[in-house]
Structure formats: structure tokens, C-alpha cells
């Protein structure tokens, strides 16, 4: 079961931390954000879709502060008995806990990996989980910490005054309705209840499990001393990340890398003819099969080259000798398919649509009816130049019904948009590592069906380096015919592992949330987009250059602030720019980008920003 909802308890006074300042504790700032914004950021980055925030003390201030949050749906719940123990706040949100949820205190700092770990746990009836730190000696304020006693992974005791303990409560749970039932039972008996009361009751029933934090950052910010410690920790983390990534790449590839992928780049020196390389190579091919949605009849071949290398391999190999290619195009990369065919003198027909126009399958059918020589149809899935998704599933069904080969350029969509070569009847699908898969430039690949192979296996090759017959033969040996991009494959193996660990569906939802936040933020500033067809991709936005500033000035100003945007092609150049949300990017990155863009427009006195200011 997918966990999509988080509960945040933000009702208490927090008198030790705020010390009569009048600021509710969840709105105390640390590291440039309020405490509750840090929790919401962790929820968003982990893929949660909804946060239920329970407020009490100065609840209206918290409500107002959260009104501008983007990327996660926020529901506010009032707890009129906020002066009682924290278990009463959870009972106030009981109706929202009808399935497994994440539960967090508003004053605990942690990052998305803790939430993701909890979300991935298997579901057991009634069982609740608590994230714990197995190194009590590293706890900043051990006297104030909630201690946990364990027997294996079972929690057997919990409390601040616990004498026999081996872990510390990190303040973030995955709960089920069983915890609500336990708290309700305690409340009926005593008229009050703490979370620890409910946890103790579940411990007695064998329904509480401990989940190790595995060294991830967390901190309970309950005192001024803890606040200063948190500020120091976050500053160190900020400096570490700044050293890793001077710019956030918001161009459509290459993309910003995760720390894990970055480490994989320098993890090993391998000889490409050694068995160690073969293990990496086979691991990449296995993972790619899962990402492509390949059946047992599909094969995956890997090239050293950009996405265009794979595109050329797809076109030059899979139009059978004596056959003809039909290219369906509505942007720059569809035009590139035709350019490759012309370069190799492959018989060619085209169904052109205007840039930004959606594909009309009736016109494609007419072209096929008019030309029985056509053997292969090619189309781009995500036409990056316009930001549109093309109807590969529908065209795949049409091609299969006519026994035609179907070649799809998924360079800018594989791993980020809904695509499945088996379901979509795609015979040849090409892509590359450095876009939605979060690897680096230098590796591209091709997934082909057995029926495609059967039609071209005996043909005379049109090229040498990209002859798929060579790659298929060497792949059987766990090798490539020519020297591969070894470090690129190491990085790709790690990037694929991260994608599959997160889950492809969750990864697409994360992209969608980032994209919706970008579009909403641009709209608030009065910045329009190139199309509004309903077929827009979730990994890029084609935005109009605001009135009053030239694109290159906008580019320079955003780069100076740490964000790299991208110039559109051909007739869209200087009028529109691209904002991609591919790569290792978080909702906080997006909010930072939008804030920087707003500041640039303000400084340049752009009319579009004045309008947004008037509206806001």
C-alpha cells in the first residue's frame, strides 16, 4: 500500500524554545526555514501528497504561514484541547488515519530518506513503526530524549525516564489506525493521553516495531541550545552540498546528480574486458529492462554515445532494406529523426505537424493508407523542444494492427513519463542516461523486440559503429563490441538502482509534483507557457520570456543565483525558455528557483512581476 499522507503535530506551546516570544514553536526558523517547513520539505521529497497539520496554540498564525506552501496538499485540523498531552492532538486528526500514515512532530528536523524508509516498509495488520537512533551516545540532549527499549526489532518499552534502553525516538513514525484506537482507550480511562501512552499499549500487543535511522540526520529542536546545534548542523550540510553542486541544472539534460551517483563515478577503475565490468554491464541491462517494461522477448543494447547515437541506431538498423520510414513529427527532435534517415538515404515519408500541435492519428492513418511501401514508423515520445507528449500508445496499437515496426525516441521521457514497451507495442525504444534516469552523458541504449530483430537480422548493415548485430552478439558475452563509457555505466547502475528503489510510479509522481509547482509559481508571476493542450510533459515547462527582460539577461541573472535554465530552439528562441525538473531536484530546489526568478523580475522592473505583485 502506498503511503501518501503525513500527520504533523503542531499544537503545543513549546515554551522552553520560544520563551515568551509570541512565535508558535513550529514557526521558529532554523537554516532559513521554519521548523514545520523542514518537515513539509521531507514529506514532499519523499513523495507524500498530503499533510494534515494539527494546530492549537496560535493556530491561526500557523495556518497563515502555511497558506503559501506548494507541492503538497495541506489540511489544517484544530485541537481545542491543545494544552493536554500530544496524544490528544493525534486523536483530533483521527478521521484522517484510516490507512498507514507518516506521523511527525513539528519540532523534529530530519530529511526525506527517513520518511522514504518508513514508506517502503511492508504492511502488517495494525503494526506501527518508529524511527530510532541506535547510537544514544550521539544524542544532543540525552536527558530530554525519549528512550526506546527493543527486543530485536520489537519495541518493548518507551519513555523519557527509561533506565534500560538501546535507542532514541527520532520523532517520526509510520502509524496505522491501531495507534488511534490505543490512544482513544487511554483517553477514555484518564481524560488525557500522550503518544508514548499509546505506543506502550501497542508494545504490550506486539504491534510496535523499531526502524533504525542508519546514520541519517535528525534532531529534536526543543530548547535554545538544540536550536543553535541545529543551525550549526544545517550550515555544515549546506556547505557540503554547495561543494557538490554549484548550480542547479534546470536544463533538459545533463542533469544534477545525486550524491550516490556522484560517488559511483569515482568508485572503481575497471577494465572493460574483465569480469568485474561484465557484472556492472549485466546489472545495467537487467535494470533497464525493468524501466523499459520489457518482456522476455525484448533485448537491451548499450552504446557509448549521446541519445542521438541511440536514435541513429534505431533509424539506420530498423528500416529493413527495401522498406520505407514514416516519421511523425511536431518539433525539433522529430525533425532529427527525418534528418538521420535522409543522411543515410533511407526512403522517407513524413507527417508534419506544427510545433506545439498535437498529433492527429487520422492523418497518420491516411499517410499509411496512401503508401504501402512503409515498413517502419518513428515518433518522439516527449518532444522536448515543445514540451509535448505524443500518443505512443495509440500509434503503437495502430502500427501493430498493420504489422509495421514502431520506433520511439524516449530520450527525454524514459524513467519520467508513463511508457511501457510491451503495453505500448513499441518494437524499438531508444533513450539515454543523462535525463530522466539521472545518469551522466556518454551512455545511451536501445530496447528491441524479437519481431524487430527478425526483420533486420540478415540485412546488410548501413553503418559500422552502431550496427546492432555487433552489439547483440557481444551482449551475449556480457561485453560491448567497442570500448564503453565505463564510468558512465557505473553512474547509470547507481542511478537506476535509486530509481527502482524509489519506485518508478512514485518517481513519476514526484516529477509531476515538481512540475505542477513550477507551473503554479510561474502563473503567479504572470508567466505563460507555450501550450495548454493537456498533453504537456511532467518533466519540463516551456515558459514565455517575461516582458521587459531579454532571455540572455534572464539566463545570466539566474545563473548568478545558482540556477541554469535553457534556451528554446528555432522560432521559439528568445521568446520562450525551458525549465526542466529532471535530475536530483527537490521541492525546496523548485521553491528556491521560483524565489530567485521573482527577485530577478523585481530588480528588472518587469511588468509581469508588477502584475503578480498586484495580485498577491
In this structure, the answer to whether residues 287 and 329 fall within a common structural domain is yes
Looking at residue 478, its pLDDT comes to 95
Cα–Cα dist 328/334, whole Å: 7
Asked if the structure places residue 39 within a domain, the reply is yes
Helix-then-strand count for the chain, H and E: 21, 27
User: What pLDDT, on a 0 to 100 scale, did the predictor assign at position 245?
Assistant: 56
Q: Are 537 and 481 found together in one domain?
A: no
Pair (292, 319) in one structural domain: yes
CA dist., res. 51 & res. 65, Å (int): 14
Q: Are residues 126 and 74 in the same domain?
A: yes
**What pLDDT score does 238 carry?**
65
252 in any annotated domain: no
Q: What is the pLDDT of residues 427-441, one digit of tens each?
A: 999 999 999 999 999
Angle between the 332-343 and 307-317 helix axes, to the nearest 10 degrees?
50
Taking the whole predicted model, whether its pTM rises above 0.75 is answered as: no
Which of 100-104, 451-455, 464-468, 560-564 is predicted with the least confidence, judged by mean pLDDT? 560-564
pLDDT tens digits, 58-81: 999 999 999 888 788 999 999 999
Residue 549 maps to which CATH number?
3.90.1150.10
Assess if residue 255 is contained within a domain: no
In a domain, 89, yes or no: yes
* φ, ψ (nearest 5 deg) of residue 508: -65, -40
User: CA nearest 153: which of 90, 209, 105, 86?
Assistant: 209
What the block records as the C-alpha cell of 109 is 528536523
Task: Examine the domain organization and report whether 102 and 36 are in the same domain.
Answer: yes
- CA 198 centroid distance within chain: 35
Domain boundary residue among 457, 483, 502?
502
CA–CA dist 431, 332 (Å, integer): 16
Say which residue the cell 527517513 belongs to: 114
- Angstrom distance (rounded) from CA 518 to CA 496: 25
Give the gyration radius of the chain's Cα atoms: 27
- Quick one: 330 and 187 in the same domain? no
Last residue of some domain: 477, 502, 527?
502
Q: What percent of the chain has pLDDT over 70?
A: 95
**How many whole angstroms separate alpha carbon 162 and alpha carbon 140?**
17
Q: Which domain does 574 fall in, by range?
A: 504-615
User: How many residues comprise the chain?
Assistant: 616
341 plus 469 within the same structural domain = yes
Phi, psi of 483 (to 5 degrees): -60, 120
The per-residue pLDDT for 560 is 85
How confident is the model over 543-559, as pLDDT tens digits? Answer: 999 999 999 999 999 99
Confidence class for position 616, pLDDT limits 50, 70, 90: very low
Q: Which residues are CB-neighbours of 473 under 8 A, at least 6 positions away? A: 481
Does the bond joining 254 to the residue before it have cis omega, within 30 degrees of 0?
yes
Residue 612 has a pLDDT of 38
Query: CA angle, corner 610, sides to 609 and 611, nearest 5?
Result: 90
Quote the Cα angle for 112-71-287, to 5°. 55
The candidate with the shortest Cα–Cα distance to 272, out of 491, 496, 485, 492, is: 485
Residues 597, 465 share a domain: no
Q: Model confidence over 104-117: pLDDT tens digits?
A: 999 999 888 899 99
Query: Largest alpha-carbon pair distance within the chain?
Result: 85
Are 562 and 241 within 8 A, CB to CB?
no
- Average pLDDT value for residue range 401-425: 98
Single residue among 502, 524, 551 that ends a domain in this structure: 502
Which range is least confidently modeled, 37-51, 420-434, 571-585? 37-51
Q: Is there a contact between 88 and 168 (Cβ–Cβ < 8 Å)?
A: no
Based on the structure, what is the number of domains in the chain? 3
68 and 134 co-located in one domain: yes
Are 524 and 489 contained in the same domain?
A: no
Cα(84)–Cα(406) distance, integer angstroms: 65
Residue 608 binned pLDDT confidence (cut-offs 50, 70, 90): very low
Q: Which of 132, 271, 148, 249 is nearest to 199 (CA)?
A: 148
- Least confident range of 131-145, 272-286, 499-513, 524-538: 131-145
CATH number of the CATH domain containing 163: 3.90.550.10
Q: Which three cell numbers stand for residue 339?
A: 534528418
For residue 256, is it within any domain?
Answer: no
Mean pLDDT, the chain, as a whole number? 92
Amino acid at each position: 500500500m502506498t503511503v501518501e499522507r503525513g500527520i504533523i503535530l503542531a499544537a503545543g506551546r513549546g515554551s522552553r524554545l520560544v520563551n515568551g516570544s509570541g512565535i508558535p514553536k513550529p514557526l521558529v526558523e532554523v537554516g532559513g526555514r521554519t521548523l514545520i517547513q523542514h518537515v513539509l520539505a521531507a514529506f514532499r521529497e519523499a513523495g507524500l501528497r498530503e499533510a494534515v497539520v494539527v494546530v492549537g496554540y496560535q493556530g491561526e498564525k500557523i495556518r497563515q504561514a502555511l497558506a503559501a506552501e506548494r507541492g503538497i496538499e495541506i489540511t489544517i485540523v484544530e485541537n481545542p484541547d491543545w494544552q493536554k498531552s500530544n496524544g490528544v492532538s493525534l486523536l483530533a486528526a483521527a478521521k484522517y488515519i484510516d490507512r498507514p500514515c507518516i506521523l511527525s512532530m513539528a519540532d523534529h528536523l530530519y530529511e526525506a530518506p527517513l520518511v522514504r524508509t518508513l514508506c517502503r516498509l511492508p504492511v502488517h495488520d495494525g503494526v506501527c513503526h518508529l524511527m530510532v537512533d541506535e547510537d544514544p551516545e550521539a544524542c544532543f540532549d540525552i536527558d530530554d530524549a525519549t528512550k526506546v527499549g527493543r527486543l530485536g526489532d520489537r519495541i518493548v518499552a518507551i519513555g523519557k525516564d527509561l533506565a534500560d534502553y538501546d535507542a532514541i525516538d527520532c520523532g517520526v513514525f509510520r502509524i496505522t489506525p491501531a495507534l488511534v484506537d490505543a490512544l482513544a482507550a487511554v483517553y477514555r480511562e484518564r481524560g488525557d493521553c500522550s503518544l508514548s501512552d499509546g505506543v506502550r499499549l501497542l508494545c504490550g500487543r506486539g504491534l510496535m516495531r523499531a526502524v533504525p535511522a542508519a546514520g541519517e540526520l535528525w534532531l529534536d529542536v526543543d530548547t535554545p541550545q538544540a536550536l543553535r546545534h541545529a543551525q550549526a548542523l544545517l550550515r555544515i550540510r549546506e556547505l557540503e552540498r554547495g561543494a557538490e553542486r554549484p548550480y542547479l541544472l534546470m536544463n533538459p539534460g545533463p542533469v544534477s546528480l545525486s550524491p550516490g551517483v556522484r560517488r559511483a563515478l569515482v568508485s572503481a577503475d575497471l577494465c572493460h574486458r574483465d569480469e568485474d565490468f561484465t557484472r556492472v554491464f549485466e546489472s545495467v541491462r537487467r535494470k533497464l529492462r525493468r524501466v523499459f517494461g520489457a518482456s522476455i522477448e525484448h533485448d537491451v543494447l548499450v552504446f557509448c554515445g549521446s541519445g542521438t547515437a541511440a536514435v541513429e541506431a534505431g533509424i539506420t538498423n530498423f528500416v529493413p532494406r527495401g522498406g520505407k520510414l514514416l516519421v511523425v513529427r511536431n518539433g525539433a527532435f522529430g525533425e532529427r529523426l527525418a534528418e538521420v534517415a535522409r543522411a543515410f538515404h533511407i526512403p522517407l515519408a513524413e507527417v508534419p505537424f506544427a510545433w506545439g500541435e498535437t498529433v492527429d492519428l487520422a492523418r497518420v492513418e491516411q499517410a499509411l493508407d496512401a503508401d504501402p511501401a512503409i515498413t517502419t514508423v518513428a515518433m518522439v515520445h516527449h518532444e522536448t523542444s515543445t514540451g509535448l507528449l505524443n500518443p505512443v500508445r495509440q500509434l503503437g496499437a495502430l502500427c501493430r494492427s498493420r504489422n509495421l515496426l514502431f520506433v520511439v525516441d524516449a530520450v527525454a521521457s524514459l524513467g519520467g513519463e508513463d511508457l511501457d514497451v510491451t503495453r505500448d507495442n513499441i518494437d524499438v525504444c531508444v533513450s539515454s542516461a543523462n535525463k530522466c534516469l539521472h545518469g551522466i552523458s556518454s551512455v545511451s541504449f536501445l530496447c528491441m523486440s524479437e519481431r524487430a530483430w527478425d526483420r533486420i537480422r540478415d540485412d546488410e548493415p548501413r553503418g559500422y559503429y552502431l550496427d546492432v548485430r555487433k552489439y547483440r552478439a557481444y551482449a551475449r558475452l556480457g561485453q560491448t563490441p567497442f570500448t564503453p563509457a565505463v564510468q558512465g555505466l557505473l553512474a547509470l547502475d547507481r542511478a537506476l538502482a535509486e530509481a527502482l528503489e524509489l519506485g518508478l510510479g512514485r518517481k513519476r509522481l514526484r516529477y509531476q509534483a515538481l512540475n505542477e509547482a513550477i507551473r503554479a509559481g510561474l502563473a503567479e508571476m504572470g508567466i505563460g507557457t507555450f501550450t495548454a493542450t493537456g498533453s504537456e510533459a511532467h518533466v519540463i515547462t516551456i515558459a514565455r520570456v517575461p516582458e521587459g527582460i531579454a532571455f540572455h539577461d534572464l539566463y545570466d541573472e539566474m545563473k548568478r543565483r545558482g540556477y541554469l535554465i535553457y534556451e528554446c530552439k528555432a522560432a521559439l528562441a528568445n521568446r520562450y525558455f525551458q525549465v526542466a525538473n529532471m535530475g536530483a531536484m527537490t521541492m525546496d530546489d523548485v521553491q528556491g528557483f521560483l524565489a530567485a526568478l521573482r527577485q530577478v523580475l523585481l530588480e528588472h522592473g518587469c511588468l509581469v512581476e508588477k502584475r503578480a505583485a498586484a495580485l498577491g
